[in-house]
Structure 1
Amino acid sequence: MSEAVKFCRGCRRDVLLTGFARDSNRGDGLQPRCRECVSVYGAERYRMSQAAKGKVVRSKADVPVGHKLCRQCGEIKPHDDWHRNATASDGLATCCKTCKKAQGRAGHLKRQYGITEAERDRMIAAQSGVCVICQEGPAEHVDHDHQTGKVRGVLCFSCNAALGQFKDRPDVIRRAAAYVEGNLWNPTLVAQGVYRLPS
């Protein structure tokens, strides 16, 4: 016994009844186009409506099993390159680990210092890629005034850590420089029990 079929208005062929979605407004209770045509027609209609708004709709990528397309970088990567996300339908994050890391760096710069990666890169280029203080180490750490929040420059790890240890106090930094230059900061005995500290 042959299964019942219906003529599809979209692809103009006979399709099994199971190939049509239900539609209670139709006499036979089924949509006039088969599921496949509705899918293609719906996607095309959506693409056309978005194009009318001036938006670009990406075409569906052919992604192999065990892989996912990252909409951020446009690369198809294996599931190992994605963080887990229990709330997502596929159980994976919306972008790959590499893009997530880049977003994290950019977000940190914006939140902490109020600058973009491009602004930081311009500062590094203006410093010829080296630390402003020692002029030897690679400029990698954004330095800012802890009182005002104003970004001062990009330093190497050592110089940035040193400023932090000196608590950004110019008087202490000057004394440290004098000490390194050979001025021992010992108090001078002026009288019995009276010492003069270096100015």
Structure 2
Amino acid sequence: MGGVVKEKVEVPAGWKLCRQGGEVKRHSEWHKNATASDGLSTRCKACRAIQGRAGHLKRSHGITEEERDLMIAAQGGLCGICQEAPAEHVDHDHQTGKVRGVLCFSCNAALGQFKDRPDVIRRAAAYVEGNLWNPTLVAQGVYRQPS
């Protein structure tokens, strides 16, 4: 009927055991917590960061780290757009919230700058390919720009 008894671990002064990570670390590796008896957080900074990333993925995108890792593996570890840089940033449709894939920082930022608008992205591609600067002669003196 009693609670779980934690194993007693000898820890030198200035150090603390992180029960989540199982490591003894210096006090500098912990966030301060004024309400705790020792004045330190219950988890070390590294464990808090890992848990924070996992929580962010679940709250923001509704996926787990494992699901993200499977998406990255399915993309060969590379960005879903440029297929050169490592896939590190989960991309999602801002209208529906649906996750589309995992991109590199640059491609993810580019989509954001284009406001996820396919028409603008197509015009940008045409511009880069030089198509916008090659008007078609329709009639004498009348030119049509590619759309």
CA distance in 2, matches of 1:160, 1:188: 34
SS at match of 2:54: helix
Q: 2:74 maps to what in 1?
A: 126
Q: Is residue 125 of structure 2 the alignment partner of residue 177 of structure 1?
A: yes
Instruction: Give how far 1:187 is off.
Output: 7.6
Answer yes or no: is the 8 Å Cα contact 2:132–2:146 preserved in 1: no
Mapped partners of 1:75, 1:141: distance in 2: 29
Where structure 1 has 5 or more consecutive residues not aligned to the other structure, the ranges are 1-45, 51-55
Matched position secondary structure for 1:137: coil
Q: Which runs of 5+ in 2 are unaligned?
A: none
* 1:12-91 mapped onto 2 (5 Å cutoff): 49-50=2-3, 57-91=5-39
SS at match of 2:41: coil
Equivalent residue for 2:113, pick from 165, 177, 183: 165
Structure 1 residue 58 displacement after superposition: 3.0
Q: What is the SS of the residue equivalent to 2:73?
A: helix
CA distance in 2, matches of 1:188, 1:161: 33
Paired positions, count: 145
Structure 1 distance, partners of 2:138, 2:79, is 43
Question: What TM-score, normalized by structure 2, do the two folds share?
Answer: 0.88
Match of 2:49 in 1: 101
The AA in structure 1 aligned to 2:69 is D
SS at match of 1:76: strand
Show the counterpart of 1:153.
101
Q: C-alpha separation between the residues in 1 aligned to 2:11 and 2:55?
A: 30
Distance 2:37 2:137 in 1: 78
1: distance between equivalents of 2:76 and 2:144? 44
Stretches of 4+ moved more than 2 A in 1?
185-191, 194-199
Structure-2 separation of matches of 1:181 and 1:187: 13
Query: Which residue of 2 is the match for residue 112 of structure 1?
Result: 60
Give the secondary structure class of the aligned counterpart of 1:94: strand
Deviations 1:106-138 (A, max 9, x none): 111111111111111111111110001000010
CA RMSD of aligned residues (A): 2.2
Which structure is higher in RCO with an 8 Å CA cutoff and minimum separation 6? 2
Distance across 2 between alignment mates of 1:104 and 1:127 = 25
User: TM-score, normalised on structure 1?
Assistant: 0.66
Name the SS for the 1:73 alignment partner. Answer: coil
**CA distance, structure 1, for counterparts of residue 97 and residue 49 of structure 2:** 24
Question: Of the two, which has the highest radius of gyration?
Answer: 1
